Amino acid sequence: MDFAGLLTEHALGHLFSAALRTATSCRIADHLASGPRTPQELARLTDTHAAHLRRVLRYLATRGIFREDEAGAFRLTPVAEALRTDVPHSQHAMVLMLTDETFQRTSAGLEETVRKAGPSFERIFGQPFFAYLATDPGLRELFDDGMTSLSAPIDEVVAETYPFPERGTVVDVGGGRGGLLRSILRRHPGLTGVLLDQAPAVSRHVLGDDDELTGRWRAESGDFFAGVPEGGDIYVLKHVLHDWPDDACLRILRNCRAAMAPGARVLVVDSVLPAGNDPHPGKALDVAMAAVVDGQERTEEEFTRLLGEAGLTVTRVLATRAFPSVVEAVAA
């Protein structure tokens, strides 16, 4: 095996992110929606340099994003389809978020995270991620758009995978713009819901976009560290706990435990890290969480311990056809 070549390719991984961002920002996938185009055609449409654009697309094609044919034209692949802005569950905004300079600079400081056991984001930008987000409306919008993009396909999967009850109230804790709650309420017409998140996210919620949900939801701005709406039957935490270290997670979970109606359940939707050396998206996210927010992805055993300390007992872990799983817990 050519170890030097393999390591060279890995060491240049940051260039792949940059190439992916370039193609996404130029909306190459949108321009290929009607069929293959040559680099010259794409360059005219995107105001770019044809020869340099071809080199970027050729590189992306080595990883299954776009495909170059024998005539030198590029076409969409199934993965590249998701970069279109006009398809359901588009990942366009997610890619722009994760490849933004803010996160690229944070990743470049990963060595300090490893040496000092603290997020490099805070050293580079002078304050914790979520505090910084509150000071930068542009980054806040980018983050909310990106998380909505990332979450959209997961929302549908969770709504169809978990056996929600016919009646009751679902409280979406830290639910962003409410995509998951909307999916749950659409699929389960006997349920009502409450969306809780900070004001910037809640102010742009999507629950009012669906007339069939009228009268079945309410949205509240608030801080889940201070408390959560009381009396819920299902408390959902999707991509919340992975943002925080254990002590902060315990505050959130204990607030949920205190607010639960009798017989209520908590659902944690996050990556559940598998043992072994096989690839898993959660393993990459785990490193990102360490660098950005001092958070982490967790194994089933770690979730069981964490939830137990909050007075909750894990009853089952449901795998989904997306990368997160659903960890169900009840009052201990």
Which amino acid, residue 39? P
> Which DSSP symbol is given to 4?
H
Residue 242 falls in the annotated catalytic set: yes
Nearest-10 crossing angle of helices 50-61, 13-25? 120
Selected catalytic residue, list 92, 205, 239, 242: 242
Alpha carbons within 13 angstroms on the beta-carbon side of residue 29 total 25
User: The tokens 């709504």 sit on which residue?
Assistant: 159
**Strands of the chain, DSSP E:** 67-68, 74-75, 168-173, 191-197, 217-221, 234-238, 265-270, 312-319, 325-331
CA dihedral (205, 157, 287, 18) in degrees, to 10, reads -70
Yes or no: say if 118 and 294 are a contact pair by the CB < 8 Å rule.
yes
Collect all residues with Cβ–Cβ distance below 8 Å to 232 and sequence separation of at least 6: 168, 169, 170, 171, 194, 259, 260, 261, 264
Q: Residue 5, Cβ neighbours under 10 Å: how many?
A: 9
Nearest to 298 by CA among 317, 311, 320: 317
Residues 124, 97: Cα–Cα separation, whole Å: 18
Query: Where in the sequence numbering do the catalytic residues fall?
Result: 242
